[in-house]
């Protein structure tokens, strides 16, 4: 590892070249390449998208381009991690737009970070495709990777970090072998939880997790993610992700967790009929349904199913 590289910024993308290059250009205007680096991981984008990415990266000159022939978010993050030279690794989603002072603010946080901080989550504000802010339930906002709270606080006990705008100490990620490829978006599924599993694992090793709202990104929200059909599917996959994560953690409390979901599902099913779609009760029903189906072996056989 090069001692003079403090921060490595990794952007992973799959078939969103325009968004990824916008993110890269905003970062490029801020980054001091004497102490930091930017790595774009192309996660098996189509040939047309690949060419667009390569051309855009070549125009900027300094970012590093990495091409993968197999898609998968965790795989892409791990590939980016393998290329990094920094003590800290920041991950920014390809559809995120960092604030103009994102880099400066993050470096200020890193300079004061104690040696036991393993991860730091930043603020994420939505960029909606329509004028005004739609009235979304808290669970719906969470599924959109929105965390627009301000301030700075220890969130080791209750995670607030969202990987769309996050920074991990390299030593902490190495200690848990990076992101689990059994979780994370792949193909057409909405499987998630890879960042949460990493936090569980580094917490068990004694690392602390912090939230700091000073370094912020805007996160583009596609129009389809404001539909009730999408958010119900997202809640269902969140339940599947929770059980797969518990298995990987060998979590013994899973039995009680599943039993609670099984008992609640019939009641929530009634409430989901009576309440508007996308309501908290409705989304809790779809989440618990995913928990139950996956627990009893009826879930999809792979993340891409």
Average pLDDT, the chain: 90
184-214 pLDDT per residue, tens: 887 667 899 999 999 999 999 999 999 999 9
d(CA 99, CA 122): 11
Cβ contact 133:221 at 8 Å = no
Helices (H) and strands (E) in the chain, counts: 10, 9
19-39 pLDDT per residue, tens: 999 999 999 999 999 999 999
42-67 pLDDT per residue, tens: 999 999 999 999 999 999 999 999 99
Query: What are the residues whose beta carbons fall under 8 Å from the beta carbon of 22, sequence distance 6 or more?
Result: 97
DSSP-based three-state secondary structure for 133: coil
Cβ contact 215:102 at 8 Å = yes
CA distances from 246 to 36, 80, 173, 298 (A): 35, 26, 19, 17
What pLDDT is recorded for position 279?
A: 80
Burial of 273 (0-12, 13-18, 19+ CB in 10 A): exposed
Cβ contact 220:96 at 8 Å = yes
What are 29's two structure tokens?
């205007």
Per cent of the chain over pLDDT 90 is: 70
DSSP-based three-state secondary structure for 279: coil
What pLDDT is recorded for position 184?
A: 86
Residue 4 has pLDDT above 50, yes or no: yes
Among 71-75, 229-233, 291-295, the minimum mean pLDDT is found in 291-295
Cβ contact 89:59 at 8 Å = no
The whole-model pTM stands at 0.89
Per cent of the chain over pLDDT 70 is: 88
What are 178's two structure tokens?
């990076």
Span 116-135, average pLDDT: 91
d(CA 169, CA 99): 22
Is domain 7-226 given the CATH code 3.90.550.10 in the classification? yes
**Every domain of the chain and the residues it spans:** 7-226, 228-295
| CA quadruple 34, 88, 37, 106: dihedral, nearest 10 | -80
Residue 304 has pLDDT above 60, yes or no: no
Span 247-253, average pLDDT: 74
Residue 110 has pLDDT above 60, yes or no: yes
Query: What are the residues whose beta carbons fall under 8 Å from the beta carbon of 135, sequence distance 6 or more?
Result: none
DSSP 208: E
């Amino acid at each position: 590892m090069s001692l003079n590289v403090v921060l490595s910024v990794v952007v992973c993308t799959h078939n969103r070249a325009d968004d990824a290059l916008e993110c890269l250009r905003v970062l490029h205007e801020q980054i001091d390449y004497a102490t930091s680096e930017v790595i774009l991981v192309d996660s098996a984008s189509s040939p047309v998208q690949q060419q667009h990415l390569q051309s855009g990266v070549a125009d900027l000159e300094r970012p590093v381009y990495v091409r993968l022939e197999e898609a998968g978010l965790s795989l892409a993050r791990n590939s980016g991690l393998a290329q990094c030279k920094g003590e800290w690794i920041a991950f920014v989603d390809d559809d995120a737009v960092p604030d103009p002072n994102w880099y400066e603010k993050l470096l200020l946080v890193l300079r004061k970070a104690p040696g036991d901080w393993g991860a730091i989550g930043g603020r994420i504000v939505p960029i909606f495709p329509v004028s005004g802010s739609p009235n979304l339930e808290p669970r719906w906002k969470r599924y959109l990777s929105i965390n627009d709270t301000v301030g700075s606080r220890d969130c080791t006990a209750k995670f607030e970090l969202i990987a769309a705008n996050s920074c991990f100490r390299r030593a902490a990620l190495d200690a848990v072998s990076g992101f689990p490829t059994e979780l994370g978006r792949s193909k057409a599924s909405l499987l998630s939880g890879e960042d949460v599993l990493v936090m569980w694992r580094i917490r068990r090793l004694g690392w602390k997790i912090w939230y700091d709202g000073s370094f912020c990104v805007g996160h583009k929200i596609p129009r389809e993610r404001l539909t009730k059909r999408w958010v119900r599917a997202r809640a269902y996959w969140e339940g599947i992700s929770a059980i797969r994560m518990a298995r990987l953690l060998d979590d013994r409390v899973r039995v009680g967790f599943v039993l609670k979901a099984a008992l609640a599902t019939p009641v929530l099913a009634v409430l989901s009929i009576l309440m508007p779609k996308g309501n908290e009760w409705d989304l809790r029903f779809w989440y618990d349904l995913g928990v139950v189906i996956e627990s009893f072996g009826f879930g999809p056989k792979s993340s891409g199913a």
